[in-house]
Amino acid sequence: MTRAQDDLQARARKRYQTLRRKQRDPRFRKVIGRFVAEGLLATTIKGIPLYDKRVPLEEALWAGTVEPRIMELLPAVLVKKPQLLRLPKDLPDDVAAVMHAIRHGKAAPSFRGVSPDRYLPWVTEVGRKGKSPSVLKSFRFKHEDVLRLSRLRRSLPHAQTPR
């Protein structure tokens, strides 16, 4: 083998060892065990115990850096099954923005390197199958519609209510 091939194999071996070390981390094992126990993911990693308690959001975000499927699944879990996670009082800004976009049917932003076309299909798979979160009636008007209604209200004479 040439020196370039040896170097490439050494780098690949080192990255694989790093991945295996991260997969043995208790944070990763808890998160993947929780999602496997819930039936959301399947894994071929040996020795992952099923976990039935809430998992901290920080640990789920860290585990998503190891296993990309977790990062794809996380926005749907946050919206449709938040009881799987232990959420902090103040959510990170990107997490809150993605949750708001999914709940209100707005254009979804990219989530920590995962494009919306990768995480939005999970929304109908988590919780009640085939159902996306319903938009509350108070949020169905667009901002332009609200402005138009307020201008119309101001332009009309005030009607007095009978007593």
Integer distance in angstroms from the first to the last C-alpha of the chain?
Answer: 96
> Is the model more confident about 61 or about 158?
61
Averaged pLDDT, 5-34? 88
Averaged pLDDT, 113-121? 87
pLDDT in tens, 53-79: 999 999 999 998 998 899 999 998 998
pLDDT reading at 163 higher than 60 = no
- Say if residue 132 is exposed, middle or buried (CB neighbours under 10 Å; 0-12, 13-18, 19+): middle
pLDDT in tens, 81-114: 889 899 888 888 998 899 888 888 787 888 888 8
Averaged pLDDT, 140-151? 80
pLDDT in tens, 22-56: 888 889 899 999 999 988 888 888 888 888 899 99
How many Å apart are CA 18 and CA 93, to the nearest integer?
29
pTM of the full structure: 0.72
Helices and strands in the chain: count of H runs, count of E runs = 7, 2
